[in-house]
Each structure stands twice: as C-alpha cells, then as structure tokens.
Structure 1
Amino acid sequence: MKQFLYRSYWLRRLLASDPGRKRLNQAGKATISLISSVFTTTLILNLLGLEPLLPSIISGIAGLMGIMVVMDDTKEKKQLTTLLLALAAGCGVTLGSLLAWNAILVSALMIVIIFSGFYFSRYGSRYFSLGMIGFFTVYFSSFLKLSPAQFPLFYLAISIGIIYAFLYNFVIFKDSVQLLKRSMRSFHRQANLTFQLLIEIIQDPETSESRRRKLEYNVRKLREYANNVSTDLSAQDIKGIWPGLTAKQLKLYVFDTAMFVMTLADSLQKLKKDDALEMAELRKLLVQVISTLQAAEVLDQDYKEKNLVEAEDVIRSLQSFINDLFNKHPSRPEGWIYLLRRIEAIASHVTEGALRIQYSLQTIDFPHAEAEDEAEEDEEDEKEKEEEKGLKPTTKKAIQSLIAGTIAIIVGYLISPIQPYWVLLTTFIVQLGTETVGRTYLKGLERSVGTLIGAIIGFILATLVSGNPTLEVILLFSVIFLAFYLLTVSYTIMSLFITMLIAFMYDLILGGISMELLGARVIDTIAGGAIALGVSAFIYPTKTMDKVSEAFKDYLNELDSYVQRYIQSLKQPTGVKDMADIAFELDGKIQTIEDESRPVLQGPGVRKYSGLPRWITIFTAINYYAKHLVASSYQKNFHYPKEVSSVFLTVEEKFTHNIQVLTKMIETDEWTGTLHDLQEEREKIERFAPGHQDNQGDLVHHLYYIWKINQSLLLLGNHMGIDKRK
C-alpha cells in the first residue's frame, strides 16, 4: 500500500472522500461537455450571423444528457446509445415543434414517451435513456414553437452536444479503466488513513471517545470503498491496467484488507480491556504488521519487495508469539488470544494475496485468468436470467407513469396554464428509481424542500447579478457542476442547485426574474411530487416494509447457502477463499436493506416500526460475523474424529431450519416453529476436536463465528417472539 505522504488527517480525508473520484469525474465531464457544446454552438451561429441563444441551450442539454443518462453495462453499448441520443433528440425537437399548436397532442406525446421509456427499459437501460432525452427535447421545443426552417440549426446544435459527450466519455476521459485505477488508489488511501489511526490507538495507553468515533467512521468508509472497488472491477479493465491479474485475485485482496482493518478496529478495545496491550512485545508486533502493510505498494509494477518480505517476517514472529501464549494456557486459552489468532490469520491472507498479485504482475502470462473471469461473467449472466422471471416491475412503473402523467397534465393546466408541463416534469423525475411508496414519498419531499430553498437563494442571487451576464453564466455552470457532484450525496441539495440554475436561466432568457415565477415552480414541484406519491400509493403499490422484508429474506437465503458452503469446506478440501465474492454480495444486500429502510426511518412511519433499527443492527452484526468465516480462515485440510463428523450434519440441518423459520415468519408474520441453539454441538466440537497444538486445524477457531451468527439469529427470533430449543 502506498507510503503515507500526507501528514494532515483532513487532507487525507479529502483525498479519499470520493472513491475513484467518481462524482468529480461524472460531474466534471457533464459540465465540461455542456460548456463546450454551448460555446461551440454559440461561436458557429455567431459566425453565421444567427441568434445563438436557444440552439445553444438545446446543444448544452444534449451535451449534458449525453454524459448523465447513458447507463449501459458495456463500453460498446454506451457508445451506440450515445450516438442514438442524437436521433432521439432530433425526433423530440421535430415532433414537439410540429405538435406545439395543439396542447393535447403535445401532452399525449410526452406521456407516450414516458410510458415507453419505463416499459421498454426491461430490454435495457438504452430505451430509458432515449426516452429521457426525447422527453426533455419535446418539453423545450413545445414552448419554443420552432418553425421547420429552424430545424437544421437545432439538429446541428444537438449533433455538437452529442459529439462532445462522445469525445469526453470515450476518447478524452476513458471512464472505466481510469475509474478503477482511481478507486483502488482511494481504497489504499482510506486503508492507510485507518491504519494510522490504529497505530495511534495501539500506542496510546487510553483511547479518547473522539478518536474512537473517528476510527468507527473511517472503518465504515473503508467498507464502502471496498464495495465500490468490487463493483468497479471488470475483467477487461484489469487486463488493461494490470496484465496477468484476475478480478477474483483483486477482489480477494480488497476483501482481506478491509476485513483486516475491521478486525483490528473491533479487537483493539477488547485487547486493551483485557490488558493484553500491556505487553510491549505485542504492541510492537502489531504496529510492525500494520506499518509494513501500510508501506507496501501492492499494485505498483516497481514495488519494493522488502516491504512484503518484512510483513511476512513480522507475521511469523506474531504467529510464534501467539503459539507461545497458547502453550502457556493449553487447556483453556483466554478469549483475547483467539482474537490475536484472527488478526494474525487475516494479516497472513493480506500478505499472501499481495504476493500473489505481485507474482501475477511480474509473470504477465496468466493462462487461467481469462477463463476464471469468463466463468464469473457467465455466472452473473445466469443470475440475471433467473432474476428476469416473474412480474416485470417496468410494466408496473409504466402503467403508474401513464396514470400519473395524465393527472399531472390536467393539474398543470389548472394551476399553471402558461407552463403546464412543469408538474409533469416533476412527476416524471420523482418516479425515477422509486420502486416503493416510501421512496417516492422521501424523494418527493426532498425535491420539494430543495426546490423551495433553491428558489429563495436563486431569486436573491439572480437579482444581485442581474445585468451581468458573464457572472451569471459562470454561476450557472457552477451550480450545474455542484448539482451533479452532490447528486448521490443529497438529493435535497441537488434539487436546491437545480432550482438556482432555473432562476439564472429565467433571468438570462427573460431579462429578469420575479418571485411569483419561481413561486409557481415551487407549487408545480410540490404538486408533481404529490401526484407521483398518490399514484404509487394506490396503483400497483409496493409497500416500503414489503420491500424491506424482501431484502431481509434475500439476505437470509444467501447467508444460508454461504454458511452451508463454508461448512462443506471443513469436511472436504475446497478453497474457502473463493467465497469472498459471496461475502461482497452479502455486503451489497446489507446496503440494500439500509437503502430500503431509509424511507421508513426518516418518514412518518418511524414510530410504528420502532424495532426496525434493532433488526438492521442485528443483520449488520451477522454480516460482520459471516465475512469473518472467510477472512479469518487459515486451514484448508482438517483431520478430526468421527464424533465430530456427525456434528457437522446436525449443525447444517439446524442452521437451515433456523433460517427457514425466520424467513417464513418475516414473510407471513405467523409463528411456524421454534429455533435451535447450537450449544450442544459447540460443546461436542470443543470436546472432541483436535486442539490448536495438534497442527490438525483448529475447528474451535473456524467454527466460532458460526456460533456467533446463530446466536444473532436467536436474538432476531426473540425480537419476533419465536421460542428457542436445544
């Protein structure tokens, strides 16, 4: 990992705050594409002696949307979609202008576009992207009421915007490859940042509350970064950056590094509490392990081999130190000694993974790499095919959009006959990505609040800079950048900046801005959000708690297969480290649980579902224990007496039974049986399994987190009112 070059905590925090600089990259490209499109179109039309304002706006929209709405899963598909956007935008300008004489026809066209965008997105995101740019170009051209003689100018403007979007996305800024490289760099920065905090905690006799909170925050961020890297990985990009390396190797390295940090953070307080860190030698060894891993530049072609060699030597010393501790307590070792064993095991995984990566980078020719990655992609395709079965959410969303769009058009004409489509625009935007009633409510609320605040700030700023077009244009481009840079951080803030953008545009186009005009937009926004919420609540509604329950069930089912596979690895020699991919999937499902629960926890139903935060805490703990099954495993082949073999089968049966009881209870809210604890099985394992000193595989160590997971399941069952039995 990269040598610590920055002494300021906040500088390091800033550098790591945007993993892979994804937000900066996307917002920057969108803004530059918009600026380039606007200025190029303006320049060309000025040279031709034509009025540039309106075509430049359309060109800017094309340049912006060419970056923001293209969401295909491969580079080739993205390139084709980007080029097709020009056709969709051209059709939008043509139809919107030709039908502008009849409001009913324009309204019908907009609703058809929205319906088609949602419905045909079942065949790929391309159709939704085309629908979005088609909707916006119809929206603008309908009130511009262009004549056919003006069409060529606007086709030219659209082409300029799309060309710039294509250039910035695929030629000048090569997204995925550089993004992956930056994601790994951000991950290393965040890991090093957290390593430094861990060293400080080890060296300090007492840990302050502020430092403990800072550590928790940074560990949580590292987990997010690890998931980001796992998501960004693609076989093609890895071959381009690090020839010879496989996606599986890199995922495993990221997983082990993140788990090493999480384990250390979780264990240090326990070690301090048990006075284990009073031993100077232990403190020294732990600091050396962290420091050597911190200094290793694993993915650098010119890395210093001595760092990983030193790490191996230090880990061997730590292993010897731990063995001595076990020998001093042969019958009942203290619990904190097992903590040290876990730390040592995961540190070994990180070092071994780093060495394998360096071997692959230096060897270059890695014949099985391509086969591994292709197999992984085939598995993903198979999963996608399985997921396609059943009712299509896109159909439901399309029907909702049809009804909501019709209502929005009627309401728009009633409350704002001059610009009736603003309500429809808001309804459409609020429906995007909101599968449940709760998410629709939260997004509508955030958009309304952001629009209200943005209208006030935008009116004040636009009034202050009115008459200074240069400054207004600079502010306009600035708020566009900030809106898209903060899009994934806060939808409220994003809406605030978009409303400020509208205020500046009104002032530039109309020559002035009034509070009444912005107030009308606020009312339209609230009305559009309310319509989207009402339709989602009554037309094919998906209740938020139903979605949360589904997320809980998905996690438990995945957990069951994960644990069963782990137990199988104890009975026969299989590579448990291949399960790191599943561990990342479990992490993703926990994130889904948190995302789906957010509308409940932040909405009016928080008191009704007051037990939900406790459930999320239990599932988060289960996820931590589940990842440890892979992270702290260090033995592949086990030898044990037949008394132990029979216990494995019982553990598998009881664990699966517990999962089934819990999932049935979550699904039907009906009591379907009791839960098993595994205390009897644990006692048998501890009685008959070979000890750590027998060099036959420490089953007590490897099964510890199975017991912890099951205890958490029992705790969950207790909250649900389910009894337990032996």
Structure 2
Amino acid sequence: MASDPGYIRLQKAGRATLSLIASIFTTIMIMRATGQMLITPSIVAGMTGMMGIMVVMDDSKKKKQSTTLLLGVSAMLGITAGSFLAGNFFYIDALLLALVFSSFYLTRYGSRYFSLSMIGFMTTYFSSILNLSSNQLPWFYIGIWIGVIYAFIFNFILFQKTAANLKRSIHSFHIQSNLIFSILLKGIQERKLSPKLRKSLRNNIFKLRDYAVTVSEYINEEDVQELWPGLTPAQLRLYVFDTGMLIETLADSVQSLKKADALEIDELRRLLVWVIESLRDAEVLAENYEKQNLQEAELAVQALRFTITEMLDRDQETEGWLFLIRRIESISNHVIEGAITLQQSLDSDKPFIDDSEAPDEETAEEDSKDEDTGLKPSTKKAYQALAAGILSIIVGQLISPAQPYWVLLTAYIVLLGTESIGRIYTKAFQRSYGTIIGALLGFALARFVSGHTGLEVALIFVVVFFAFYLFTVSYTMMSMFITMLVAFMYDLLLNGITVSLIGARVIDTIAGAGIAFVVSMVIFPKKTKDKVSEALNDYLEELRNYVLEYVRGFREDVNVKELSRNAILLDQKLKTIRDEAKTLLERGGLFHDTTTSQWITIIEAINYYARHLVASSYRKDFEYPDELEEVFKSIEQKLKDNFDALPALIEGTRESQTVHRLDWERELIERLAPSRFKAQRDLIHHLYYVWRINRSIVELGIELGAEEKTP
C-alpha cells in the first residue's frame, strides 16, 4: 500500500508536539534544578516551541530560520509589555488591538510579520492574566528561548532532509499508480465492470490526485539534484502530471470501451493489457532501473498504433470508440517519451538546462502595473479585525470580567484565513460546535483523571497532537481538541474544574465567533457569491493564458513544455472555487443556489478538458496547408473574445456580450488538415479538446446571458 498523503500532516503535527514536550520538560528541569517552583514559564516555553513549528510560513528555508529566531524577540516583547501593563486595562486593550490589526495589515509585506504579530499577541495575552513581577520575567525569557531553540532543532536539524519526503512521495505515487494499473487489468479481463470495481477505481484515482499534489509540493531544485543529479524540477513535474493523466485517461477509456463492447475484440484487449503491464513494470526513477522495461512499453504502444492504423484502413464502424484507443496510444507514447528524457538526463553527466521556468517579462511587467487603486484586502481585513477586537473586549468585560480576552481571541482566530461572509459563518459555526463538544468531553475526562497528574499531562500532549493533525481535515475536530486542552489545563493549574468555568469559555467562544460573523457582514462585507465570482474570474484568467498560448503554438515557436504546471494551478484554483461556494451549495431546499451549482459544473467540465489538453502541450512539428494559418488566427481571436466576455458576465454587467462558436474553423481544419498517415502529428486529434473547452465556455456565457454570434 502507498503511504498516506496525510504523512505531511503527521510529520508537522508530530514536530509541533515533540517541540512542545521538549520545551516544557526542559524548562521544568531547569526551574527545578535552580529551586524555582513556577510552572508558567514552562507553559510559555511549550507554546513558543509549538508556534515555532506551526506559524512559520516563509517561502524559503533561510527566511524560515530567520523568522523562527525573531519569534523569540517578539515573544519577549509581548511578555514584557503584558506584565508591565497588566495593571492598566486600557493600555493592554490598546496593545492587543494593535497586534491584531498588525497581524493582518502587515501580511502585505510577507507572512513573517503575521507570525511575529501572532506570537506577540499570544504572549501579551498570556502575561496580562498572570500579573507577572519583574523578577519573574528572566525565567519566562529563558522559557521562550528554550522553545525557539527546540523549534529550530526540530524544523531545521532533526527533520531538515526534505529530499527524503520527496523520495517517499514519489515512491508512494508509483505504488498508487501501479495499484490502479492492476485494477484496470482486472477490469479488462472481466466480462463486465462490477459496481465494486468501478467504485474502487474511482476512489483510487482520487487518491492518486492527492499523491500528485503531495509530490508537486516537495519538488524543488535542491532536492531533485540531490536525489537524481541531472534532472530538473520541470522534467519531474511533467513526468508526474503525464503519468496521472495517462491513468485517468485509461480509467475513463476502459469503462467506455466496455460499454461499447470494443474489448470483445481479442487483439485489442491483448494489446491494452500489454501496454498497461509494460507501463506498470517500467520503474523509471528506481535505482536498479532496467532499460528493457521501457523498451517493452515502446513495443507495446507501437503495436497498438499499428492496430489503430489497420482499423482505420478497414473502415469499420468504430467511430464511437476508436478515438479512445487513439487517446490511450497518444498519452502512453507521451509518458514513454518523458520517461526516456528522464533516463537520458539521469545518465548524462551534465544537468539538463531548461529556461522554460524563467519568468515571462511581459507577464512580470503586467503584474507590476496591476495595483489595486482601492484598499488592499489586507487593509480591509485589518479594519474588520480591529472592529471585531473592540467589540470583543467590550463584550468580554461584560460577560467574563475575570477572563475578558477569550472573546477577543476567538474572534481573532475565526477571522484568520477567511474572506467571504459564508466562509466566516462556516468557521464560526464549526468553532462554536466543536467547542461545545470539546467542553463536554473535556470536562468529563478532566473530572475522571483529576488528581492523576502524569496521565493528565499525557492527555494534554495527545489532544495537542490531534488538534494539529486534524486542522486541515476538520476545523470542528480541531476546535474540539483545543477545548479539551483548555479543560485539562484548567484542571491542572486551578486544582479542579467546574461546570461554570468551562461553561464560561463556551459562552465566550460563541460570543467571539458571533462578533466575527456580524463584523464581516457590516464592515467591508464580501458576499460569498462575489467571492465565488472572483475565484471564477481568477480561474478563467489562468485558463485563458494557457489555451491561447497552446493554440498559438500551432503556428509559432512557443515554449509550451512547462504548461503542465498550469494544470496543477488550475486544479488548485478549481478547489478554491469549490471551497468558496461550499456554503451556497450546501443550503437545501429553496435556498440552494442552483445558478452557482451550474457554473461550477461547467467549470469542472472545462477543467477536465484542460487537463487532457495539457497532456499534449509540448508536441510540435505540425504540418498543414498555408490557408489554415488564417483559420488559426481566427480561432485565437474568437477564444480571446469569449474569455474577455466572461468576467463582465459573471460580475453582472448589463452591457450585452457575445460569444462565438468554432464550428466553421473546426470544419475547415478537419477538411484541409493532412491525414494521420501523411503528417508527423495529428492536427485534428490535438485540437479536439480546444473545441470542447470553447463549447463549454459558450454554454457558460449563454447561461450568464450572452448572445451567440454566428460567423
């Protein structure tokens, strides 16, 4: 079995928990050795060690190292300010609000400032409720730096070998790929695909997509060179994408061929089995790689190509499914070519030089000019957080004078990472619901283990681990474990926990979540549908650049080798659309947004076609008559006009917009293009998904109110 993509979560949650444990126990040992009985410095040490793992999000190792060390400085300043200002609630309120505002506002300058503001907020909050004396501060400083040191050790010394993660993820990707190949072989041999087999195939393909994303996250120049000298990140990324596309194409095609009874042809079935088996056995990146494995795959694909040619010559009634076989042959050959390139690079002493990753000057210039004339999103978010913070402090003083800042802490956390009203509502609800469940479980468990300090401390570490491990999976579960942590901490520090105490935290949490939601509706509100529209436009802009570049490549020398990266980016942007639209799609009955649902259905179809288009993106040397040159220009212009019309339609502009079909251009190309036997590349085959993408764009445009313009 391939290793779970959740290994990344496991590793990060494990590092955070180990850093927490090591920081706490080291600080306790130092305190006990010097005769100090304070427990709170060890808690601050653990918090710093844990946050040093979780909140450092810079884009390079060097920047992460610098930010980790700066966390110690920010935490010291927070502890100092909180202790000296603890007697004056006005100054503490002002400082906490300033830190909340800064954590959002300064993100425009980099994630580092968010990390520093966040740990400053947490330490200020913590020290303000402890009323520390000046002679206690040095022990907290020691605890802070112990936490920073352990975070640094676990992040950059003990777990610094990211190349091992890349190798492991590639290995998992191969295992998962071979598993699907084996399922396909079984399906081909069976007379009919059973529902159980189809379900298994579908679920394993979803897993493979997760594995491909995991691999892409680890691909970088340094690790690729360490593992496979001579290989480039671009080559490895393309190989992973092509393999994933081949498997998805095989799965779809085999099921369609089964329905059409095409696999009843013994020769065709034998060849498909041969192709799949040879591809499964070709361990391209294995250390003990055997070249004959890839040669076998070449022979199998070549035999399949000859069979296709014979079927075309026989003029059999294969119109409905022969395209599927041609697609399998094309993408299989594509994967083999990529694998051969990889092996040639690995065997060469000199690394392959690829300038395709160099930034496009025109794009960079456009990006530099693309400045928002209004308030930046970070500024709007900062003002939202400031308003929510003021309301939270007022409400906190009214309902929980002893712990007035818990409401503020909840509102702050709910606003993190959310923009639209729908997303904030969902997060607020999940936070409240998880807190209620966590309070019930935490109170019951804390009462049950009360007095057993060792067991209670162990449970604290367990709930911390699961809170971080499940953070990206279920925010409700994360909130539940955090509340259980609070219950155990209260029982340890206050020598017992009461219903009123844990109940107050539940009320504070619901109040803070409610304040965050209300503020998001009043101050710079971003409606969920507007955010979905924004995400749609972002997706379509990325698609526009790719499709136009692809079509231009048929008549100009365009470097399209790196367009596989666009497929990964398009998948990410599609996921953003789904996430933003989730609250609209989950509403039932009369409140269900059918319009948004239809939009997303069409976009998902477009994304499917775009992924197949990417799989042919670096084929060149097309031959066609000169008169088709103008046809390609017409295709580009109509596609450009269609893409330009969609943003205005999505935003609801009243001006009339028109969209164009490509039926006339398609007819000319299919009539004038050289046949498969006379040209090196099959032009008709490589334009198939361009027609499908444009047809879907036209349907989306008409759905949004555009008029179809006839040639």
Q: Pick from 653, 662, 668: which aligns with 2:637?
A: 653
Aligned match for 1:392, one of 373, 376, 394 = 376
Unaligned runs of 5+ in 2: none
Q: Which residue of 2 aligns with 1:123?
A: 109
Query: 2:246 corresponds to which residue?
Result: 260
1:234, 1:27 → 2: CA distance?
23
Matches of residues 43-192 of structure 1 in structure 2 within 5 Å? 43-174=29-160, 176-192=162-178
Q: Which amino acid aligns with 2:540?
A: L
Q: Decide whether the 8 Å contact of 1:438 with 1:544 is kept in 2.
A: yes
Q: Secondary structure at the match of 2:192?
A: coil
In the alignment, structure 1 residue 430 sits paired with structure 2 residue 418: no
After superposing the two structures, state which structure 1 stretch, 201-210 or 632-641, moved more. 632-641
Runs of 4 or more, structure 1, over 6 Å off, are 377-384
Deviation of 1:227 after TM superposition, in Å, equals 3.0
Q: Give the aligned residue type for 2:87.
A: W
Letter of the structure 2 residue corresponding to residue 301 of structure 1: E
Which residue matches 1:720? Answer: 704
Q: Quick one: which of 299, 307, 311 aligns to 1:321?
A: 307
Partner Cα separation in structure 2 for residue 138 and residue 241 of structure 1: 45
Q: Which residue of 1 aligns with 2:346?
A: 361
Q: Does 1:622 align with 2:606?
A: yes
Residue 331 of structure 2 corresponds to residue 346 of structure 1: yes
Per-residue deviation, 1:683: 1.8
| SS across alignment from 2:153 | helix
SS at match of 1:342: helix
Show the counterpart of 1:638.
622
Other-structure match for 1:292 = 278
| CA distance in structure 1 between the aligned counterparts of 2:8 and 2:371, rounded to whole angstroms | 29
1:508 aligned residue: 492
Aligned partner of residue 611 in structure 1, secondary structure: helix
Over residues 311-363 of structure 1, what are the superposed CA-to-partner deviations in whole Å (9 max), with x where a residue is unaligned? Answer: 11211122222222222228x85131111111111111212212212222222
Q: Does 1:202 align with 2:171?
A: no
Structure-2-length-normalised TM-score: 0.95
| Structure 1 equivalent of residue 596 of structure 2 | 612
Residue 257 of structure 2 is aligned with which of 271, 274, 293?
271
Greater Cα shift, 589-598 or 64-73? 589-598
Could you tell me whether the CA contact under 8 Å between 2:560 and 2:618 is conserved in 1? no
1:49-103 CA deviation, whole Å, 9 max, x = no partner? Answer: 2114211111100110000000000100000000010111111111111111112
Whose relative contact order is higher, 1 or 2, with alpha carbons under 8 Å and at least 6 apart? Answer: 1
Deviating more after overlay: 400-409 vs 264-273: 264-273
Deviations 1:103-142 (A, max 9, x none): 2211111111111121112111111101111111111111
State the TM-score, normalizing by the size of structure 1.
0.93
Shift of 1:204: 1.8
Alpha-carbon spacing, 1:227–1:389, altered in 2? closer, same or farther (3 Å)? farther
Report the alpha carbon displacement of residue 679 of structure 1 after superposing the two structures with TM. 1.8
For residue 334 of structure 1, what is the aligned residue in structure 2? 319
Q: What amino acid maps onto 1:656 in structure 2?
A: K
Q: Could you say what secondary structure the match of 2:513 adopts?
A: helix
Partner Cα separation in structure 2 for residue 714 and residue 680 of structure 1: 15
- Give the conservation status (yes or no) of the 8 Å contact 2:356–2:559: no
RMSD: 2.2
Q: Could you say if the C-alpha distance between residues 429 and 603 of structure 1 is closer, same or farther in structure 2, counting changes exceeding 3 Å?
A: farther
The partner residue of 2:672 within 672, 675, 688 is: 688
- The equivalent of 1:16 in structure 2 is 4
Are 2:443 and 1:455 equivalent residues in the alignment? no
Instruction: Tell me the residue number matched to 1:440.
Output: 424
1:358 partner letter: Q
- Rounded to whole Å, the distance in 1 between the matches of 2:588 and 2:103 is 32
Would the aligned equivalents of 2:586 and 2:592 in 1 still touch at CA under 8 Å?
A: no
Q: Return the letter of the residue paired with 1:351.
A: I
Which amino acid in the other structure matches residue 526 of structure 2? T
> For the Cα contact (< 8 Å) 2:622–2:679, is it kept in 1?
no
Pairing partner for 2:400 from 412, 416, 423: 416
Corresponding residue SS for 1:571: coil
Moved more, 208-217 or 246-255: 208-217
Deviates more, 1:242-251 or 1:487-496: 242-251
Instruction: Say yes or no: does 1:28 pair with 2:18.
Output: no
Q: What percentage of residue pairs aligned between the two structures are identical?
A: 52
1:698 to 682, 687, 706: 682
Please list the CA deviations of residues 538-590 of structure 1 after superposition, one character each: whole Å capped at 9, or x if unmatched.
11112221111111122222222222211122223545433212222222221
For the structure 1 residues 377 and 69, does the alpha-carbon distance in structure 2 shift closer, same or farther, using more than 3 Å as the test?
farther
Please report how far the alpha carbon of residue 215 of structure 1 lies from its aligned counterpart in structure 2 after TM superposition. Answer: 1.9
Matched to 2:701, the amino acid is G
1:213 equivalent to 2:199? Answer: yes
Sort the Cα spacing of 1:670 and 1:207 in 2 relative to 1 into closer, same or farther, 3 A. farther
Per-residue deviation at 1:384?
Answer: 6.6
Instruction: Tell me the matched-pair count.
Output: 709
Q: Tell me the amino acid that sits aligned with residue 661 of structure 1.
A: A
Matched residue type, 1:362: D
1:16 aligns to what SS in structure 2?
Answer: coil
> What's the counterpart of residue 585 of structure 1?
569
Q: Flag structure 1 segments of 5+ consecutive residues without an equivalent.
A: 1-5, 7-11
Change (3 A) 1:50 1:605: farther
What residue in structure 1 maps to residue 693 of structure 2? 709
1:594 maps to: 578
The amino acid across from 2:353 in the alignment is H
Report how far residue 608 of structure 1 moved.
5.1
> Residue 434 of structure 1: SS of its match in structure 2?
coil
Match for residue 564 of structure 1? 548
Looking at structure 1, the residues matched to 705 and 452 of structure 2 have their Cα atoms a distance apart, in angstroms, of 67
How has the CA–CA distance of structure 1 residues 293 and 619 changed in structure 2, closer, same or farther, with 3 Å as cutoff? same
Which residue identity lines up with residue 40 of structure 2 in the other structure? L
Tell me if the contact between 1:227 and 1:588 (Cα under 8 Å) persists in the aligned partners.
no
- How far apart are the structure 1 equivalents of 2:588 and 2:87? 44
Alpha-carbon distance change, 176 to 384 in structure 1, aligned in 2, over 3 angstroms: farther
